[in-house]
Each structure stands twice: as structure tokens, then as C-alpha cells.
Structure 1
Amino acid sequence: MHRPPTAEAAIAEELAAVRPGLLPRYTARLPGARAAVLTRLWRALAHEPLPWLTGRESGAHGLALRLADGRTLRGPRADPYATRAYVTAVRLDRERYEDPARLVAALGVPHGSAFAAELAHSVASLALSRAGADHPKEWPEKDWEWEQRVVDGHPFHPNCRSRPGFSVADQLAYGPEHGPVVELGTVPAAAADCLLSGTWPDELRDGGRLLLPVHPWQAAHVLKRPYDRWRPARPLMSLRTLALPGGPHVKTALSARLTSSVRDISVSSVRSAAALSAFAEDLAARTDGLLHITRTLGAATADSPDLAALLRESPEVYAAPGERVLPVAALATTSLPESPAWLAAFTRLALTVGLRLLDLGVALEAHGQNLLVVLSADGTPLRLVYRDLADIRISPARLARHGIAPPALTGRPITDDETALRRKLFGSLVAGALAATAGSGPALATALATAVPDLPHTPDLLALRQQPLPTKALTLMRLSPRTPGDQWTVLPNPLVLEGDPSDQ
């Protein structure tokens, strides 16, 4: 019986056709990609509330996970904050597994087949990304150059580089790590049929029509209609947001599943864009100059999440001469986090800003893609820049305590639930951006222990110091396709961590 090629073989076959010179580098990077994805998967198995795991035992020889069917999965002791690929193999009873997709298939858990296919694609795509990345500059000058240095994608998600629906040619043409220039297009729509928030530039108007920027992949695979070529742009980390020369950034609709979710630009987010941007700008002014939030210049949709665009300031406008602004995810590509003093200073800055806004009533989704840092010429962290307000949470009750009028919004962003607010900030900033920058539990613990005593004592800080650290249960979410929304787990608090983190 003929079997379809594995994801690794399929990408190799396509690569041989479209860029054969890259094939040896791709093949050489496959073992490292498997270990990188397996390490992320092992973190999930060690710490997420997966219903078919009945027990976890840690000892001198590593971590043992008991399955509901009586089998035992064994691997190394788990550091939930490690970004180095330290898991090269695990054992399911007597069988040794180096390939995360084969492991999940062997587990035989509900919805595991689809997840295994995603993991296989993540491995192959990650190897391709590592093969194609070539960024010799130690200190790039342009913001988009920093974005291209983040080759591995999400630091803790097993689907860190999964891009289903993208061929090898698509990844080479649109993936930021490959350094492409993307020719954005426009699709006309009658202004009367469009929802517009903010200001729409003259160059994107044609009489009574709005010209909506469109990503070439979206036009070909979703809209399936021709478009007019507009301007060249550089793709950023999120793939669907691109930097025009000299600014601004253009967030396009790109209805492909990236990592976990199908991303689009909802009609409601377009409707609220201007009001939310103005509210956030006023809030940032209350941080004593430590935070800037990139303004949304305009947002428009032809009444469809598949045909919409958002124009946003480039973070570069907030960097003075001699300063650099870069996404926090790119810090790990520099030597800066190797200095405990630097890491503590950055942690102090990030927590000062995040906790201040949380106290005021806004929880940022401050992961390494949304959060940027402004560095001085010698690398000192000076200020933060935040972009993309789509997933923040706003507490009217907290705002009212500070005499701040909430924006005229309803729905998902609005909540007074303290657990939801703290999950949003702590899960993205501490368990996400700061952990990935530190690179390990011990480094994160040291940075937090140094920074936290200098912070204002608030109930949120007390929760951060004493409670387990929330994080999204990313693998559980992929294995629960019928459960909508985010699912959560908790990680050992680095500030109270003693012994092996998998014991807690």
C-alpha cells in the first residue's frame, strides 16, 4: 500500500524543486528541529492537565509520567522555562522516541492523530526556517531586521513553526526568517460598503472606493481574486504584519493557521480600533515615559474578516538617535541576557510597566512579539513599546478606582475578573517574554528575585510572588478542538521554586 511521504520528506521534495541549494542545510537541521519541538512537547506533558496522564513522579533519573492505560513515559527532569533544546529522546515503556510526532501517534490519545501531523509539520518547517535564516549582523539597524532574527517562532509551543497550508515556496516567499520582500496588493471596495475606523490615507482611496491592502497568499488562497500591486514590504514576526519602507506597519488578513489559531481581522476589532488606540495612548502617558503604545492610524474592512487591514505606527518612531527598538523575542539572539545584571534591569522595567497598567485596569498581552524594548547605544533597557491591542483585557472597576473613563467597548476585552486579568499579564509577560529571555528557570528566578523587591507593593505583586505562575495550556488546547477559548495551567513559581520544578 502506498503511504504518503512524511512531512520531512515532503518538504525535502518540494525544496529540491524550488531551492535545491538549501536541501543539505535543511537535512542537517532536522535532528535539532526534532529536539526543539520535543523539548516544547515535554514541557506540556510535564505541566499541563492532560486527562490521560494520571501521575507524575520525579527522581534522580528524571521524570516519569503514568498514562491512564498503564504505560509509563520517561524523560529528563523538566524545566518549564527552558528554551534550550535539552530533550533529545524519551521512552514510552521500552520504546525510544526522538520524533515528537511519532511519540504522540504512539500515545494514541483523543485527537492525537491531527496533533501529530501538526508536530511533524512544525519539525520540518522549523528545520527549513533554520536552514534559510542568514542574519550576519550582530546589531541590525532596521526594526524588520530584528524581526527576521527570530527564527524558531514561539519559544514554548510545540507547534512553534507549524504553517499548514503554506508550501515550501510560500514559506520562502513570505516567512520573515527567509528575508523576503513581499509585494503587497490592494483590493478595491465601495466605501459605502466598508467599515472604517480612524484615518485612511489618500493613496489607499480611489474616488468612492477604499483600496484595502491584501497579502498575496490571502488573495490567492482565500479571496481567490486578482489584486493590484501596491508596495513592497518586509514581513514581521507575525507573518501577516509587514513593514513598509519608512513606515507604517500594515496588518493584513491572513486566514491561515499559524501555531494554534486561524488569524484574521474581525469586524469588531476594526470598529473599536480608533477608540482603543486613543484610550491606550492616554493610559501609556501615566507610566512616566516608560511605555509607548503604537498608534493605530486606520483600520478598514469590507465587512469581512477575510478582507480587512490595519495601519499602525512603526515602533521605530519611539527610538531617539543612537537607540534601537526591537521585539523582546529578539533579545535571545543577542548576548545581553547572559548578564544577570542586565536581565534583572530588563525584568524590573517590564514588571514596573506591566504591573502599573494592571493596577490601573489594563492587562497587556505582553509576549515577546507584542512587547518591544528600546535600548541605548550600550544596550541598557530604557523604555518599552507595545503593539497590537486586539487581545488586551480592560477592567472598568479598576479604571474607575483611578478615575479613568473606560473606552466604549463591550465583549471579550472587558472583564473585572482578577484571575483573568492576572492570567493575561503574568502568562504572557512572566511565563512568556521574561522566561524566554532568561532561557531557564534558575536564570528567571534570579532576575525576578533581584527585581521584585524594588516594585510597588500591590495585591497583584503579592499574587505574582506567592501563587503558581499561570500559562496557557497550549498542547491541551490543540488536543481539545471542541473546547473554545483559552485553557490554562500553572507552573512552579520561580520565586518560591525549590528542588526539581516537576515535583510541584
Structure 2
Amino acid sequence: MERVHLNPLSAAAGVALAEDVAARADAHAVAPLLNCFLRELAEPVVSPGGRRVYRLRGTGRLLRVLGERRPAEPEVHADGTWHRIGHTELVKLVADELRRHTGLPNHELPAEMIDSRDTVAALLTARARATPPEDPYLRSEQCLLTGHPYHPAPKARGGGPVAAWLPYAPEAHARFPLTLLGLREDTVVEEGDTSALDAFGEAPPGYRLLPAHPWQLDLVGRELADAFADGRLVRLGTTGFDAWPTAAIRTLYVPEGAPAGDLFLKFSLDVRITNDIRRLWRHDLLKLRRTDAAASRAFATGPAAWLSDRAYRTADFAFEELAVLVRDGFQGHLLPGAAPILAAGLLEGFEGSTLGDTAWWEAYLRAVVPPALAAFADHGVVLEAHLQNTLVAVDSDGIPVQALFRDAEGVKLLPDVPREAGWERLVYTLVVNHLCELAAALAERHPGLDPWPAVRRELARHDLPEIAGLLTAPTLPGKTNLLLRWTGADGADARYLPLPNPLAG
């Protein structure tokens, strides 16, 4: 056997690369964990110097951090001095504080926090040898290495082996063909116009095409063994084109040029991502048409657009496991010459992204805020208008000219939810989760720029009875993702704590 002789320089470079990846992975994982930890379980302490100091509610211990939007380098005070702690030590500290604060144990969440950090390390390693997509839109969807800025484990992938999920990870610039199944016609359940799915291949007589996400098929394959054995399902190979995973991971973009291209497909994925197991749940699918129709009506006029979740197809014996949802692509929705960008991508940054000056910010607000408020006021539609569900189309100069919203699953309708609860949800997703985060990034990018006067002016232009209160209330609702996960609450069961309101001056 021929021996492989390693070049010492190459080995040293490999060690340096591994150390760099480890440090960067820690930084990406520490920031969102600290954000929600300090928001939910700490009180700020007035202190001199460049670091912010907090007293932890569970134990009274002192913790200090560097930076604000992306806190870093946590240190704990003990024995009269400050001690730097890494991500692993921070997870232990957070778990101890949560046990004391809630009186409840939780063995799952600390493992998810570690998994999230290890996922980032695997993604960083994969990205070093991956080729980013040429399309700026796809780059914006695939740039989210940190992810949700206020979640303890935003990048967790269910704890499975890296080889199981990495081929399908948007952050690793993945693209892959879909698995094609033949579904016996008498077992098909569908609603809406699913004809686009039939263009992906050719089903044998008596069957309909059912595209499947290969990762989901791996996860639920054993449950489908009987269906394959008795012929309710047959394998038909893969598509002749690649689909691109978006920031939502289980939602894929089929680009123009593919059969029935320029559309999105959303699949079930039996993996916990942030707060929820990401299945297409039966109760959500059954109300989809009503919710989507209401959102479509809300965006029937004006420059803003709704990407309709227009149909789904599944099997009656695996209703949730094999469901695939068909969502509009961009054709017919974009203004001429405009190019879409994921709003969350602007927060993280990607090659070609920009956060402009005050004029850019005012244009952004004009594009995003009025349609979200009008949908609520005029149509009773409560958008989940957070950064990952909002696309902003920009002109050739990079100036925002149009907003596009998506995801009927996250939409609430009045009076299904009380108006007060609907307004609180809209304020959280649009203002706290979306505008507050971009405003902080903008101020960081442009020192001296105050983003809030423009937000106040834009909101004040709209004649909603809730606006006056929003502009004067001392606090805004902040979702408690850390406590939600620790106490095992349903991810959709939002619980809020009061945050200082920058709109009140």
C-alpha cells in the first residue's frame, strides 16, 4: 500500500483552518444565545467601561459581554475577577439559570444549543469549498450562518449526523434534484392547482407524480415500507433539474428553465428547526386555501405582492409526511426591472448586499410598512412579516421599490384571533423582529445615522387606531424563545415580555 506523506505546511494550515472554524462557529453560536439569555433572564447593571454588565435573575451572578447587536466574549464574575467562558460553558450557565428560574429540568435544549454550534462549524467548513450561486437572490437566501438573532439554537439540525443533512443545507450553497415518487391515484389528496407538479416527469398509468424532499424521505422511509411494498408508492428516480433550498430549509426554489420552473415547493421535514418540528401539519393544510385566499385579496392591488401558497398534494396514508405545497414564484409579481432579495439576507450580509443611507432606509420603509399595515387594517390579515418571510425587490441602483410577502401557514385572520392579539403579533414580527433588527444593523453600518425618525414618520402616515399607542408606548412585545423552548411550549404559542420601545423616543 502506498503511504500518503502529509506536507507539514499543509498540516499546519489544516490545523489553523480548524482553529479558525472553531472560533468563528463559537462566535456565530454565542451571539444569538446571549441575545435571548440577556433579554429573558438578566437585568442590566450600570457600569463604566466598554462592556455591558448584567445581573442574572436566577442566581444573581454577574455576566458581562462585548458589543450590542451581536454580543461576544462573555465573562462571568467570580472570586473577585472576570473569567472568559466559551460556548460550551455558556450553555451550562444558561441551563443552570433556567433551572433555577423555572424550577423545571430540560435535557433537550442544551443538546440543541451544542448541535446548533456544531452545525455552524460544519457549514463553515463546507462553505470554504462550495461555490455560491451567481443569482443575488439565491445568495441572500443561503447566507444565514447565524440565523434568528434571538434564539438559543437557531442552526440546530435535529442532532443527526452531518452527512444526513449537509447535502440539503442552504448555508452550504446546496442544490439537489428532487426524488420523484409515483402515488397511486386512489390515494391522492390535493387542493388547488397542482398541475405544475405533473410537469416534473412522467408517472405510470394509474399514478400521479409526487415530488419528495430526499432528506424527508430518509427520515420517514421506514414508515412508508408497506406503501412501497403494496404499490401505493413507486420510485421514479429524480428530477432532471436541481432545486435550491432557501433560508427556510424545507422550502425549495425551482428556478426558471426547469419544467414548470420559477416556483417554490414547501415540504414536511421531521426535524426541529428553531421552535418547531417542521411538518406540514394537517390542520394547517386544511385551512390553507382560506388563509391564502384572504392574503391574495389583500395584495390584489398596489406594488406589493403576495406569493400565493396555491395548492398542495399528498397521500391519504401519509398526509403530513409526504405533503408538498406549491407556492408562486416571482413571475407576474415583480415590478419591471426589480430584483428580489431576502430581508434576512440584508441583516447577515452577502456578496452584493447593501444597507444604504437614510434615503435607502426611507425607501425600504415605504416598500414594506404600508402593505403590511393595509393588510391588517383593510382585510383583517395578520402577516408574519418577519425578516425570513419578507422579500424586498430593488431597482438597478439597489434602492428598494417593492415588498413581497410569503408563507400562508404563518398568517392569522381576524376575527379568528382577537384584534388586540393580531396587532401584537404584527408588531412583534414587523417592528421587533424585522425593523428593529435592520435599524440596529443600519446604525452599526453608518455611525451617526438615527434610523428611528424615519420609522416614526412612516408609521404616523397610517390611519390605524393602534398607531398612536405604538408610537408612545414605553414597551414593545419581545418573544421569549429561550423560555418557550425550555418549558416545552408549542412554538406557535407566542409569549412576550416588554422591551424598551425605540419609537417612543
TM-score over 0.5 (shorter chain): yes
Mapped pair 1:60 → 2:45: no
2:212 alignment partner in structure 1: 214
Map of 1:105 onto structure 2: 92
Q: Which residue of 1 aligns with 2:397?
A: 378
What is the rounded CA distance, in whole Å, between the counterparts of 2:440 and 2:126 in structure 1?
Answer: 24
Alignment of 1:413-432 (within 5 A): 414-418=416-420, 420-432=421-433
Shift of 1:241: 1.0
- Is 1:344 paired with 2:362? yes
Once the two structures are superposed, what CA deviation does each residue of 1:252-302 show, in whole Å capped at 9, x if it has no partner? 11111112211011223322333333322211125xx23111122320222
Post-superposition offset of 1:344:
2.9
What code does the residue aligned with 2:89 have? R
User: Any unmatched runs of 5+ in structure 2?
Assistant: 1-12, 229-234, 257-261
| Equivalent pair of 2:109/2:485 in contact (CA under 8 Å) | yes
Q: Which has the higher contact order (CA 8 A, sep 6+)?
A: 1
| 1:301 corresponds to 2:286 | no
C-alpha distance in structure 2 between counterparts of 1:387 and 1:341, whole Å: 26
From the superposition, tell whether residues 300 and 335 of structure 1 become closer, same or farther in structure 2 (CA, over 3 Å): closer
What value does the CA root-mean-square deviation take over the aligned residues? 3.1
Aligned mate of 2:238, from 225, 230, 234: 230
Equivalent in the alignment of 1:28: 20
In the superposition, relative to structure 1, how do residues 483 and 362 fare at CA in structure 2: closer, same or farther (>3 Å)? closer
Bigger shift: residues 249-258 or 32-41: 32-41
- Offset from partner CA, 1:233-261 (integer Å, 9 cap, x none): 11111111111232221111111111221
How many Å separate the matches in 1 of 2:386 and 2:361?
16
Deviation at 1:74, TM superposition (A): 1.6
Deviations 1:436-458 (A, max 9, x none): 32334956993232132242242
Residues 123-142 of structure 1: matches in 2 within 5 Å?
123-133=117-127, 140-141=134-135
CA change 1:177–1:315 in 2 (3 A) is: same
**SS at 2:364 equivalent:** helix
Question: CA offset at residue 23 of structure 1?
Answer: 7.9
Counterpart amino acid of 1:29? V
1:369 aligns to what SS in structure 2? helix
**Local SS of the residue matching 1:89:** strand
Structure 1 equivalent of residue 299 of structure 2: 284
Q: Deviations over 1:334-354 (max 9, x none)?
A: 553242321232123322222
Amino acid paired to 2:294: F
Q: Partners of 1:22 and 1:374 in 2: how far apart?
A: 41
TM-score, normalised with respect to structure 1: 0.80
CA drift at 1:309:
0.5
- For residues 43-442 of structure 1, the aligned pairs below 5 Å read 43-48=35-40, 50=41, 56-61=44-49, 62-69=52-59, 71-76=60-65, 79=68, 82=69, 85-94=70-79, 96-106=83-93, 108=96, 109=99, 110-111=104-105, 113-133=107-127, 140-141=134-135, 143-201=137-195, 202-203=198-199, 207-224=205-222, 225=224, 227-231=235-239, 232-246=242-256, 247-286=262-301, 289-303=302-316, 304-315=319-330, 317-332=332-347, 333=349, 334=352, 336-360=354-378, 361-396=380-415, 414-418=416-420, 420-440=421-441
2:483 aligned counterpart, secondary structure:
helix
Q: How many pairs align?
A: 449
Identity of aligned residues (%): 24
Distance, in Å, in 1 between the alignment partners of 2:144 and 2:129 is 10
Q: Give the number of the structure whose alpha-carbon radius of gyration is greater.
A: 2
1 CA distance for matches of 2:211 and 2:14?
Answer: 32
Structure 1 gap segments, 5+ residues each:
1-20, 397-413, 498-504
Counterparts of 1:311 and 1:125, CA distance in 2:
29
SS of the counterpart of 2:451? helix
Distance change >3 Å, CA 483–CA 156, structure 1 → 2? closer
Deviations 1:372-419 (A, max 9, x none): 0111111111111111110111113xxxxxxxxxxxxxxxxx21241x
TM-score w.r.t. the length of structure 2 is 0.80
* Whole-Å separation in 2 of the counterparts to 1:127 and 1:442: 29
